[in-house]
Amino acid sequence: MFPCENNNDSTIVTAKGEEALPILEHPLTCGIFLDEISILTGFLHFRIKDECAIDGNAQIYLSGIAQKEINKLTELINLSELKCWLLNLQNIFNELGDTQRLQLLRLRTSKNFVNEICSKIEQKMRLELKYRQLQQLSVEKQKQYFEESQKVNILLQEIIEAAKALQENLETDISRKYNGREVYIMGEINAVLYGN
């Protein structure tokens, strides 16, 4: 909102478009303002440096001025005030140049930036859905493999029991052929395999 004159009548009119943004929220004017603060900060750095130096440029300049005028100048602005101004300017620059603040301003002023963020969010939501489906599929596969391993273990136990029963039957048949002599099939196989 800004005052304007309309038929010699001062009224408040709502601004539209780019004018509706305050100076520090409009991207162009905010950039110009930040540039000016940066230049002023640099100037204050050099001014403080000159004030602290004994033989600096400022001292040479001040030595050319009458002593009375020098006292007036130094009374107006002292070193602590310069440092305070510099600190305040740096704080303002940091607050205005904050990346989160600048992104919020871009959101407010740029439809393209809003669309870009929306598309990124949609893409991340699709990826999240995909990863959730992969996670669910992985859990199902893990459960399926666990059940299959349980079935295989049961089948393996049955095969082991059948092999033991077959071994006992073979040992008794062989023992009968050799007049009741004890036979250890596994013992003989192990002796052949391992050379014992």
Burial class (CB in 10 A: 0-12, 13-18, 19+), 29: middle
Model pLDDT for residues 77-132, shown as the tens digit of each residue: 777 888 899 999 999 999 888 888 888 878 877 788 888 989 999 999 999 999 99
Instruction: Report the pLDDT value the prediction gives residue 3, as an integer from 0 to 100.
Output: 39
- Nearest Cα neighbor of 29 from 123, 96, 101 is 96
Tokens read off for 20: 């509706």
Query: Domain locations in the chain?
Result: 2-109, 120-196
Instruction: Report the pLDDT value the prediction gives residue 167, as an integer from 0 to 100.
Output: 80
Instruction: Report the pLDDT value the prediction gives residue 17, as an integer from 0 to 100.
Output: 63
Instruction: Report the pLDDT value the prediction gives residue 4, as an integer from 0 to 100.
Output: 40
Taking every pair of Cα atoms in the chain, the longest distance, rounded to a whole number of angstroms, is 139
Q: What is the C-alpha separation between 43 and 49, in angstroms, rounded?
A: 10
Instruction: Report the pLDDT value the prediction gives residue 8, as an integer from 0 to 100.
Output: 43
Asked if residues 37 and 97 have their Cβ atoms less than 8 Å apart, the reply is: no
Model pLDDT for residues 13-23, shown as the tens digit of each residue: 555 665 566 77
Model pLDDT for residues 147-196, shown as the tens digit of each residue: 999 999 999 888 888 877 888 888 888 888 888 888 777 765 555 555 55
Instruction: Report the pLDDT value the prediction gives residue 7, as an integer from 0 to 100.
Output: 43
User: Rounded to two decimals, what is the model's pTM?
Assistant: 0.45
Instruction: Report the pLDDT value the prediction gives residue 163, as an integer from 0 to 100.
Output: 79
Q: What is the C-alpha separation between 37 and 52, in angstroms, rounded?
A: 22
Q: Is the dihedral of CA 182, 185, 190, 192 positive or negative?
A: positive
